[in-house]
Amino acid sequence: MQLQEILYSQGFGTRRVCAGLIQQGHVQAYDAEGVAQACTDAAAEFEVNAFRFRVQGVDWPYAERAYLVLNKPTATECSQKPSTYPSIYTLLPSPLRTRPQKAAVQGVQAVGRLDQDTTGMLLLTDDGKFIHRMSSPRHHVPKVYEVRVKHALDERQISRLLEGVVLDDDPKPVRAAACEAVGEFELRLTLTEGKYHQVKRMLAAVSNRVEGLHRSQIGGLSLPADLAPGQWRWLSAADLTSIAGA
């Protein structure tokens, strides 16, 4: 693939902009020995498998599809057009936000949403099939939440969450896949479906109230301990297998 096309496919701008970056000496390509070589020929051909390049001093891997994990901080919205708080997309570099797609929306998209005051693990991708697979209740992908509640927990509340509670807009009971008290006011809750404000509404249904909410795991992958709030990283093939194989 031509270097200009590689940069375009990764979201570095229009083809003209990408050609300009290359011709102006802002792009380096890594060779087989891992040495970055200057490249000013926009039409230079490269094999994209395991290809790495550098744009304006920042290293990038070639990725046919982008798969990311973000540690969502509080007071951020999972929306391209936030109403009150900053968008989580502002935490990502521009190329990830502008990766070209056939659909009208460009760039990576959040796999589901977390409320503005909810923190923790959020996946982002430009792979529509992956988004559907992770979001569909038919696939029962488990998501683990660490919940801090206002009132002391008791066995009755745990039992009701496991047996199922009725939410105001759905007569079908919603059940936790797993639920355990890890402290007097702390709960670890596992869900396999996602409804609007689901954790908060489930706790309200058992006469309690969520004071803090953090997602710590999706599928078989836990939020990396060294990923600080607001930071993101690429997901490896092993990560993706762990998420889908849980």
Q: State the catalytic residues.
A: 115
Vertex 138 angle, CA 135 and 140, to 5°: 70
Q: Residue 25: helix, strand or coil by DSSP? A: coil
Question: Backbone phi, then psi, for 24, in 5-degree steps?
Answer: -85, 5
For residue 125, the cross-strand partners are 67, 109
| Separation CA 54–CA 192 (nearest Å) | 40
Which residues, 6+ apart, have CB-to-CB distance to 187 below 8 Å?
146, 147, 148, 149, 153, 158, 179, 180, 181, 203
